[in-house]
Amino acid sequence: MRRRELGALALTGVAGAAVAQTGGSFHDSGLIGQLEGPTIVTDEARRPRQFKEAPMLAEQVRAGRLPPVDQRLPQDVMVVQPLRSVGKYGGTWRRGFIGPGDSENGNRIMSADKPLFFDASGTELQPCLARGYEVSDDGRRTTVFLRRGQKWSDGSPHTADDWLFYFNDIYANRDLVPSPAPELASNGKPGRIVKVDEHTIAFEFDDPYFLFPQMLAGDTLIGGGNTRQQSQGQSYGIYAPANYLKAFLPKYTPMEQLTAQARAAGFGNWVEHFKYRSDWRLNRDLPTLSAWRMVQPINTQLWVLERNPYYYAVDTEGQQLPYIDRVQMSLAENPEVINLRAIAGEYDYQERFIDLGKLPVIIENQQRSRYKVHLDPGFNGADSVLFPTITYKEDAEIGDLLAKVDFRRALALGIDRDQLNEAFWLGLGTPGSVVPDDNLPENPGPEWRQKWSTLDIPQANRLLDGIGLQRKDREGFRLRRDNGQRLRIEIAVGQTLSPTWPQQAEMIAQHWRQIGIATDVKVMERSLWYTRAYTDQHQIALWTNNGTESLYLYPRYTLPVDPIGAVISNVYSHWYASNGARGEAPTDPKLLRAYELMRSASGQRQEERNQTAKEVWKIAVDEQWGIGLVGLSPAFMGVRVVSEKLENVPARTGISQHCRTPWGARPDQWYFKS
């Protein structure tokens, strides 16, 4: 309670005595503004007739190294009306990252490569890389209209052929994409891609697929180009730079030559070499369509992006975006260092890794370090979730227990979420299950917030006794059923998004002592955590379910459906994604029913899809595939530390996964004032 009082007092210093009176409510703090963002101008009459460019590019034009700006921009240029004022060029956006495993830090900044995007509310589709789309009346055909005259960052044309190239030569190659993307199928039936003309692509499906445009806009396996190419070493995406990448595929280059190229570059085979060449984080030669291009890779002390001279957007006065010249991410040892540097004023805009528990200190240092604090509450039910791996096989006894619903329910009932909330959320989060905010149309009902998600030690003990774990040792810990030794469960924590995840896990381990479960907490580097997660090697993984507030756009933390994002079951997700061709078939009728509902949703219109989502959530909570802890707060990238010099930053921005924080705030229209 003392920590909560300190938080309330710190907030009071900013927003007034009302915070103290309410116990420190986020919404009374004065730190939460209205959702807002710049406007995409679609009225042709408002399209600028003359264009301008950054001084650093103008110098290159004068030197003959670049064509003039009007020759670099597409005919169908995107026009952005800045949030508050037209900006000026220059400056470096300083930011932090925690190493080669922190890919998402940059992926999000590069999100201008997404075919479509969402408005500031995160609910309405708007143009992005593509200028528009249309869906046929029967839902079986979605047509995407590309920007005519658009160019990659190397000046080569971006056309429908880049989309065909990806689909036919990368996606169809099982050496590069072992399991198909479930988003490219309707009701389990794979779709097709058709070139209408140089700047028009059509996606055709045997069954209705009204959800498909949202899939192109969401953080899905088809929701982008280069930033999806390096997804966990598998080449997902929806388009790729054909002119550049063709040379590294056996279809276009003899295998002997490819092998020699790979070995000369230090790789064992052509597949490894191709994955490097198509990885925007590591290969600075890979063309991009984003606002910035990488000039210094992620595996260095400074990960640096520099403006793309061929970026397809301008402001309302015809100035080519982005305004900011460079993005410079400096390496930090861990999230704690990120927080210390942010508090010291060393970053211009940082929301990733910022610890909600440090909010009083962050607020206290605003004036000294010349930054502002913004809070962006999320709509996902759990900032922290325990994910039991239901197909864990490294220890048969542990695997059998994790697969039992009563064991998972007992673990859920043995957690004191209120204590977690006080200790790590300043008492301002919402304890409960994994379901999204009660006000969202996919929420199954308020009673599902508490289902199996409140502290009930007597019931937890009854469930554990009922599955054969009655025997205990002298210290009260339960014994294994196979050899009589003490039963030990391991929680795997990645050194990643939340600085307090290790401490949260240790507190849960103390809670579980009360129900006789001995627990080990294993903290590991993010890349290793991922590797083990995707091979079902974790017993229980601690992560978040951010993104599930829009179930169909990011279902991986509700059901095992995503072949690169499984924390519940990797083998089941491959089975689902491949329509039974790979992986392992589940036998649990509840999971099979949830799969059936998910497959049916793609062909449903929105109101019916919402009802289907409610049924999926009910099953997921009842089965406790994810054990929710505390959520509905700014804890997951919702505490923003923003330099006083940075302009056009929204008072509040969406932090849903599909909003791709910080891109949802449109950093291409930010600028530094003098």
Q: What is the pLDDT of residue 26?
A: 57
For the cut 70, the answer to whether the pLDDT of residue 18 exceeds it is no
For the cut 90, the answer to whether the pLDDT of residue 30 exceeds it is no
Burial of 615 (0-12, 13-18, 19+ CB in 10 A): middle
Q: Phi/psi of residue 228, each to 5°? A: -100, -20
For the cut 50, the answer to whether the pLDDT of residue 146 exceeds it is yes
502-522 tens-digit pLDDT: 999 999 999 999 999 999 999
For the cut 80, the answer to whether the pLDDT of residue 335 exceeds it is yes
223-256 tens-digit pLDDT: 998 877 655 567 899 999 999 999 999 999 999 9
Would you place residue 71 in the very low, low, confident or very high pLDDT band (cuts 50, 70, 90)?
A: very high
DSSP codes of every residue in 43-97: -GGGS-SS-B--HHHHHHHHTTSS--HHHHS-TT-EEEE-SSS------EEEEEE
Tokens of 258: 């490819």
C-alpha pair distances (Å), 519 with each of 491, 511, 630: 7, 10, 20
Highest average pLDDT, of 436-440, 477-481, 526-530, 635-639, comes from 477-481
Q: Phi/psi of residue 609, each to 5°? A: -60, -40
Q: What angle do CA 118, 121, 127 make, to 5 degrees?
A: 20
187-232 tens-digit pLDDT: 889 999 999 999 999 999 999 999 999 999 999 999 998 877 655 5
Would you place residue 12 in the very low, low, confident or very high pLDDT band (cuts 50, 70, 90)?
A: very low
For the cut 50, the answer to whether the pLDDT of residue 447 exceeds it is yes
- Mean pLDDT, residues 653-674 taken together: 95
C-alpha pair distances (Å), 245 with each of 230, 268, 332: 14, 18, 33
The lowest-confidence range among 600-604, 614-618, 644-648 is 600-604
Q: What is the pLDDT of residue 16?
A: 32
Q: What is the pLDDT of residue 527?
A: 82
CA dist., res. 544 & res. 497, Å (int) = 9
Topology of domain 385-631, CATH: Dipeptide-binding Protein; domain 3 (3.10.105)
Q: Which of residues 28 and 663 earns the better pLDDT score?
A: 663
Q: What is the pLDDT of residue 653?
A: 96
Contacts of 560 (CB under 8 A, 6+ apart): 390, 566, 568, 569, 570, 572, 573, 576, 591, 625
- Mean pLDDT, residues 78-105 taken together: 96
Would you place residue 11 in the very low, low, confident or very high pLDDT band (cuts 50, 70, 90)?
A: very low
pLDDT above 70 coverage of the chain, percent: 94
Q: What is the pLDDT of residue 674?
A: 85
Whether the CB-CB separation of 623 and 408 falls below 8 Å is answered with yes
Which is nearest to 453 in space by CA: 417, 490, 493?
A: 417
Topology of domain 39-327+646-672, CATH: Dipeptide-binding Protein; domain 1 (3.90.76)
For the cut 60, the answer to whether the pLDDT of residue 9 exceeds it is no
Give the mean pLDDT of the chain: 93
Would you place residue 20 in the very low, low, confident or very high pLDDT band (cuts 50, 70, 90)?
A: very low
Domains of the chain, by residue range, sit at: 39-327+646-672, 385-631
Q: What is the 3-state secondary structure (H, E, C) of 266-296?
A: CCCCHHHHHHHHCCCCCCCCCCCCCCEEEEE
481-490 tens-digit pLDDT: 999 999 999 9
Q: What is the pLDDT of residue 22?
A: 31
pTM: 0.86
Grouping H, G, I as helix, E, B as strand and the rest as coil, residue 385 is strand
Highest average pLDDT, of 13-22, 230-239, 285-294, comes from 285-294
C-alpha pair distances (Å), 600 with each of 208, 210, 445: 10, 11, 22
pLDDT above 90 coverage of the chain, percent: 86
Cis preceding-peptide flag for 322 (omega within 30 of 0): yes
527-559 tens-digit pLDDT: 889 889 989 999 999 999 988 999 999 999 999
The lowest-confidence range among 231-245, 339-353, 387-401 is 231-245
The lowest-confidence range among 1-5, 85-89, 507-511, 609-613 is 1-5
For the cut 50, the answer to whether the pLDDT of residue 19 exceeds it is no
Q: What is the pLDDT of residue 38?
A: 98
Which is nearest to 172 in space by CA: 241, 89, 105, 235?
A: 235
Q: What is the pLDDT of residue 505?
A: 98
b/e per residue 299-335 (b: at least 16 CB within 10 A)? eeeebbbbbbbbbbbbbbebbbbbbbbbbbbbbbeeb
Q: What is the pLDDT of residue 233?
A: 63
For the cut 80, the answer to whether the pLDDT of residue 406 exceeds it is yes
Whether the CB-CB separation of 274 and 249 falls below 8 Å is answered with yes
- Mean pLDDT, residues 438-447 taken together: 94
